[in-house]
Amino acid sequence: MKQNPKRCVKKREHPIDPANVLGKKNKEREISAADHRLLGQQLDLFSISEDVGVGLVLWHPNGTIVRNVIRDYWEKEHLQNGYQLVCTPHIARRELWKTSGHLDYYEQNMYVFEKDGEGLVVKPMNCPFHIAIYKARPRSYRELPIRYAEWGTVYRYERSGTLQGLLRVRGFTQDDAHIFCTAEQVKQEILTLLDFTRRIMRRFGFEEYRVYLSTRDPEHPEKYMGSNEEWQRAQNALAEALQEKTIAFREVPGEAVFYGPKIDMNIVDAAGREWQCTTLQFDFNLPKRFNITYVGADNKEHEVVMIHRALLGAIERFFAILLEHCNGNLPTWLAPVQVSVIPVSDDCLEYAESVHRKLVSCGIRAELDDSTSTVSYKIRNAELQKIPYMAIVGKHEAETGRIAVRKHGTGNAGSMAIKELARQIRKHGN
């Protein structure tokens, strides 16, 4: 996607208050009909139970469908774009986090426990695991860049007052990946990532961004690992990549992570609110701390550079943003139920069942409403559940072998063949 000149204009119309940067915006949000917490309850997508624990999300069957559809799409894209999928444990030895430096910076926010006299940590990050996989054998420059991707579930202790629905939780899943490459490859990787991110986000209906380059706070270098030169070089690499893509961005000193500078691509939702999801983080520190290297063409060991990146960010949070963005009217490819088959009366139940079976065999997520209620009542339920399509079948349809289609929100869409509806749904992406 080329940088849209209009976007630059728009950017000027919304001067950025640095105090708003890290999602600190959206302050005046109040419970509205489009609040994801309300939608989550009405559409039976997820819940948070006091018995289970605060900030821990229970994904209901409907929510799990959406989540898995997102994950399947995400995995397909990653496999097609040079990533390898990995799977890592939920806990690890305390020592690992000592090495990574996370313990020093974030111990109060980590779930730490002990077993057999050994300290263990519930993972707050996936990076040390991906590093360990990299480290499992010697690496040649020929195999770089190596890109490991994982839907990694992590746990971070967040203070109770900061929790908010799905937007801020204690257990969440990152669409995480770590790219191991040479210093020379970093810029190209960032360039590729900028395009990749925008393609994925467009699939979910997010087109507009505000981009930030988070750099070190020059007045407090002690808050960061690494030398001045390394930081300067890393920051320059990120800035150059952005400039090369002619993406307008704002530099935000003091917002960098302790191990390196980063690019945040904040999406703008339907209500014009800005959300931090995508983050591309440069890291020359962790590779050093874990002593990971590659063997170069010169047969010597070289330091490897790492890029941490999450595109959707935390799935829980992204799901909430997406839900509010579309006001619960999930696009058909994401809808937990795509078609509700509604028989007019018991006489048509048999035909309704065959319609349902056919849709399911076409790969459509269809449900059959065989309750004894009236047609109006079933339609009302399907509308309230925001199901994209309804297939109303009565005597007339049974005779002609067709279905009367009704579209959510727009009403009667006329008679069509079953296959035609299936085709229409698949066209919008399944």
Partner RNA sequence: GCCUCGAUAGCUCAGUCGGUAGAGCAACAGCCUUGUAAGCUGUAGGUCGCGGGUUCAAUUCCCGCCCGAGGCUCCA
- Our answer to whether residue 262 is catalytic in this structure is yes
Q: What is the largest CA-CA distance in the chain?
A: 79
The least distance separating RNA from the CB of residue 84, rounded to whole angstroms, comes to: 21
The least distance separating RNA from the CB of residue 239, rounded to whole angstroms, comes to: 19
Residue 322 corresponds to which tokens in the numbers above?
Answer: 């997406």
Our finding on whether 400 is near RNA (CB under 7 A) is no
Our finding on whether 411 is near RNA (CB under 7 A) is yes
Query: Dihedrals φ, ψ of 62, to 5°?
Result: -65, -45
Our finding on whether 271 is near RNA (CB under 7 A) is no
Alpha-carbon distance 199 to 24, whole Å? Answer: 26
Taking CB under 7 A as the criterion, the residue among 16, 91, 163, 416 binding RNA is 163
Our finding on whether 30 is near RNA (CB under 7 A) is yes
Alpha-carbon distance 427 to 284, whole Å? Answer: 44
Alpha-carbon distance 6 to 143, whole Å? Answer: 40
Our finding on whether 222 is near RNA (CB under 7 A) is no
Our finding on whether 252 is near RNA (CB under 7 A) is no
Alpha-carbon distance 307 to 190, whole Å? Answer: 9
Name which of 55 and 145 has its Cβ closer to RNA: 55
Please identify which residue in the block is written with the tokens 């007045």. 219
Name which of 137 and 220 has its Cβ closer to RNA: 220
Name which of 266 and 281 has its Cβ closer to RNA: 281
- List binders of RNA among 120-139 (CB under 7 A): 124-125
Query: Dihedrals φ, ψ of 41, to 5°?
Result: -75, -45
Alpha-carbon distance 96 to 90, whole Å? Answer: 13
- Our answer to whether residue 302 is catalytic in this structure is no
Q: Which of 238, 187, 191 is nearest to 216 (CA)?
A: 238
Our finding on whether 24 is near RNA (CB under 7 A) is yes
CA 184 from chain center: how many Å?
A: 28
415 burial level (CB within 10 Å; 0-12, 13-18, 19+): middle
Our finding on whether 297 is near RNA (CB under 7 A) is no
Our finding on whether 113 is near RNA (CB under 7 A) is no
Interface stretch with RNA, choices 47-55, 77-85, 131-139, 287-295 (CB under 7 A): 47-55
Which residues have CB under 8 Å from 28's CB, separation 6+? none
- Given a contact cutoff of 8 angstroms between Cβ atoms, the answer to whether 309 and 280 are in contact is yes
Taking CB under 7 A as the criterion, the residue among 88, 215, 281, 285 binding RNA is 281
Q: Please tell me which residue in 123, 308, 317, 356 is annotated as part of the active site.
A: 308
Our finding on whether 165 is near RNA (CB under 7 A) is yes
Q: Which amino acid is at 186?
A: V
The least distance separating RNA from the CB of residue 8, rounded to whole angstroms, comes to: 26
- Given a contact cutoff of 8 angstroms between Cβ atoms, the answer to whether 160 and 170 are in contact is no
- Our answer to whether residue 156 is catalytic in this structure is yes
Taking CB under 7 A as the criterion, the residue among 380, 419, 427, 428 binding RNA is 380
Can you list the pairs that 181-185 forms with residues at least 24 positions away whose Cβ atoms lie under 8 Å? 181/144, 181/145, 181/146, 181/304, 181/305, 181/306, 181/307, 182/141, 182/144, 182/145, 182/294, 182/302, 182/304, 182/305, 183/233, 183/303, 183/305, 185/144, 185/145, 185/305
Interface stretch with RNA, choices 4-12, 265-273, 298-306, 367-375 (CB under 7 A): 367-375
- Our answer to whether residue 127 is catalytic in this structure is yes
Name which of 181 and 281 has its Cβ closer to RNA: 281
Our finding on whether 106 is near RNA (CB under 7 A) is yes
- Our answer to whether residue 250 is catalytic in this structure is no
- Our answer to whether residue 426 is catalytic in this structure is no
Taking CB under 7 A as the criterion, the residue among 104, 303, 347, 350 binding RNA is 347
Residue 52 corresponds to which tokens in the numbers above?
Answer: 């289970």
Taking CB under 7 A as the criterion, the residue among 373, 417, 419, 429 binding RNA is 373
Our finding on whether 65 is near RNA (CB under 7 A) is no
Using DSSP's 3-state secondary structure scheme, residue 145 falls into coil
- Count CA atoms closer than 13 A to 60's CA, side-chain side: 13
Name which of 1 and 154 has its Cβ closer to RNA: 154
Taking CB under 7 A as the criterion, the residue among 132, 191, 375, 416 binding RNA is 375
Taking CB under 7 A as the criterion, the residue among 104, 346, 350, 420 binding RNA is 346
- Our answer to whether residue 178 is catalytic in this structure is yes
Residues with a catalytic annotation lie at 127, 156, 174, 176, 178, 262, 308
Binding residues (CB under 7 A) for RNA: these are 22-24, 27-31, 37, 41, 48, 50, 54-55, 102, 105-106, 109-110, 124-125, 156-165, 168, 257-258, 279, 281, 308, 344-348, 372-377, 379-380, 383-384, 390, 392-397, 404, 406, 408-409, 411-412
